[in-house]
A and B are shown apart, each in its own frame.
Chain A
C-alpha cells in the first residue's frame, strides 16, 4: 500500500526520492531522543484545542454584566473576554474539557521542552554542527513561555489581571526604555488601552503559534538533514549511524508516543481541574487575591522577584534601575543569554572545534555536567522560592526564614552540587578505567594460561 501511495505521489510530484529517503531515515535507539517528540505532540494538542476555544472566546474588554448559568457571578461587572471564557467553560459542550486540556498541554509542553533541553545540554548534543538547531530550540522555548503567559492573561480573571500587573511593573523597570516600552505595548498606563487585548490575542492565536510552528519545522528539518546524534558503543562511529529506520521501526514507536501524549493530556483535562476561573472571579484594577501564582514555567521569575533583596539603583535622586528589573528582566535575559552563548563558550574553553555526531554521556564531560547541574539547582531553588507563601500557609514554615534560607542556598547549593556532580563523573570514569584494565588483565591471564 505504501509502495502504491508513493508511486501515485511520485507520478504527480516527483517526490519519491524524498519519500524513500524519509522512510529509510535512521533513528537511534534511546528513550531520551523521544522527549522532544512529547513537546511536538503537546503542540499539536495546543493548536487543535486552541482552535476550538477560539470559536467561543471573545477577546474584548467591553464591559458587561453577567447573567448566566453560574449563579455566584450573577450581576457581576466583567469584560466580554472573561464572560465568554466562563461561558465556554460552563455552558459550551466539551468547552471545559477542551480548555483544561489546552492548559494542561501548555504546562506539559514547556516541561517536555525543559527535559529535552536538559538532555541536549548534558550530552553535548548542541556541539558543532548542531548549534543552529539548538538556537532554534531555545527560541521555541522562549516563545513558548511568552505564549503561555499571554494565554494565562487573556482570560481577564483575577489571576490574569494580577499577572499582567506584575508584567507591567517589570516592563516599567527596564532602565531608560521601560516607561516607553510599557506605554507602547499596553497603549497607556495599566491596565492599558482596549487595543492591548487585541495585541495579546493576535499574538497568542496567530503570530506566536505560526512562529513556533515554523521554528519547529526548521528544527526538525535541521535535525533530519544533519541526522540524529547517538551514544557511543557497538558499531556506532562518528560516520555510521545505528538505529531503526522511520518505517517500519520508528513510526509505530512515535505514533504510540503520540497517542500516549494525547491520552495523558485529555485524561488530565477531563479529570483534574486546572485554573477554575469562575471561582477566581473577574479582575478589576483594585482587586487582588493572596497567593496568586503564575503557571509553573514562570515560577522562577516570581521566585527571583521575591529573593532579590530590596534595592534600586538611584543616581542623583533618580531611580535608574528599579528593583523588579533584577528578578523579572535581568534573570531571564541572563539565563537565555547564557544558554545561547554556551556552545561558543564551550568551543573556546575546550578548544574543540570538531564536529560531533557521537554524544557524550554526562560523565564524559565532568565540567560541563557539573556546571549544568549547578545552573539547574540555582534555577530550581529560585523556582521553589516562588511558592514560599504557599509553603508558609500550608506547612507553617516562617516566610522570612524561608527567604533567608533560599537567599543563602541559592549560592551555596549550586557550588556544592557542582562539586558533587563533578566528583561523581570523575569517579565513574575512574571506575570504568579500572574495570577496563582489570578486564584486559584477565584476558591476558586467560590467554597466557591457554597458551602455556
Chain B
C-alpha cells in the first residue's frame, strides 16, 4: 500500500468537513449543548471517514489486515478497532501527533499536530461515541510523591524508558524519551500501552500511583543535579567520550609540549 501523505489526508478531511458544515448550516443548525455535542460528533465522523477509516475501517470497526502484517508481535500493519478505546486513547494518539500515521508499518512517534483544537475535540468525541470507553484522565502530580514515583518508575518503566527518562532501545522500536510528555499523556499511555508498552491496569498502578510516576518523570527533567555538566544522564557512553576527547587530547598535547627538546 503506498503511503498517503498526512497533508493529503487532511485536505480530504477538510473538504468533507466543509461539506458537512454546509449541510449543517442548510439544516438551520442547533443551539443547545446536546446538539452541539451531536454536531461535534458529526464533524468528527467526517474527519474520521476522510483521515482515519483507511486503516481503522468505517465506523472505527478496525481492519485486521489491510496488508501483510509484520513487526514485533505482529502489531505493524493492523488498523485496530477503536470501539471501546474511549476518549482516553483518542486524546492520546491525536494530541501527541502519533496519528495519523503515514504508513501502518511504522512506529507512531511524537510529531507536529496538524489538527485544530476543534478538530481534535471532534475526533475524540466521535471515537468516544463508538462504544462506551474510558474518558480522558485528569492526573494531578502534585498529589503524588517523587520518591514513590522513583520506586514505581524503577520497577515498571526504567527497563524500557531508562532510569532518567532518556528513552531506550527495544526490538524494532524505541521506548521514547519522556522529556515532552504532559501529565495527561503519561496517564493515558499507562492505561493504553501504546506500541510495545504493557497496559497497566488500575489494580497494578492506581491513579494515585500514576500521579507519583508523573511527579518523578517531571522531577527527572531537571533533577537535583550536582557535580557539574550532566552529560544528559545517559551514563558511561558520553563519559568515555569526555575521557578520550577532553582529557586524552589535553594530556597528549601537554606531552607534545613538554616532550620537545628545547635546547
Main secondary structure of the interface of B (DSSP, over half): helix
- Does any Cβ of B come within 8 Å of A260's Cβ? yes
**A296 touching B240 by the CB < 8 A rule?**
yes
B237 within 8 A of A: yes
A274 CA / B174 CA spacing, docked (Å)? 25
B residues near A294, Cβ cutoff 8 Å: 236
Expressed in whole angstroms, the Cα–Cα distance for A295 and B239 within the complex equals 8
Q: How many A-B residue pairs have CB under 8 A?
A: 195
Q: Are B243 and A108 in contact (CB-based, < 8 A)? A: yes
Q: How large is the interface on A (under 10, 10 to 19, 20 to 34, 35 or more residues)?
A: 35 or more
B residues near A387, Cβ cutoff 8 Å: 237
Query: Within the complex, which residue of A29, A97, A293 is in contact with B236, where a contact is CB–CB below 8 Å?
Result: A293
Q: Kindly state whether residue A299 has any CB partner on chain B within 8 Å.
A: yes
Interface residues of A in 97-127 (CB under 8 A from B): 97, 100, 103-104, 107-108, 111-112, 115
CB of B42 within 8 A of chain A? no
A187 interface residue per 8 A CB criterion? no
| Complex contact A260–B254 (CB within 8 A) | yes
Report yes or no: A281 in contact with B154, Cβ–Cβ below 8 A: yes
Chain B residue with the shortest CB-CB distance to A38 = B251
Whether B233 lies near A290 (C-beta < 8 A) is no
- Flag if B146 contacts A295 (CB, 8 Å): no
Residues of B within 8 A of A71 (CB): 146-147, 224
Identify which of B51-59, B135-143, B164-172 touches chain A: B164-172
Which residues of the partner chain B approach A104 to less than 8 Å between Cβ atoms? Answer: 243, 247
* Chain A residue at minimum C-beta to C-beta distance from B226: A96
Q: Is A159 an interface residue (CB 8 A)?
A: yes
| B213 proximal to A (CB < 8 A) | no
One of A73-81, A204-212, A308-316, A346-354 at the interface? A73-81
Residue numbers of B with Cβ under 8 A of A are: 146-148, 150-151, 154-155, 158-164, 166-170, 172, 174-175, 177, 216, 219-220, 223-231, 233-237, 239-240, 242-244, 246-248, 250-252, 254-256, 258-261
26 example contacts (A-B, Cβ-Cβ < 8 A) are as follows A31-B252, A38-B251, A73-B150, A76-B151, A97-B227, A111-B248, A159-B235, A257-B251, A260-B251, A268-B246, A272-B246, A273-B230, A276-B227, A276-B230, A279-B220, A279-B233, A288-B159, A289-B159, A290-B159, A291-B169, A291-B235, A295-B236, A296-B243, A299-B237, A299-B240, A392-B174
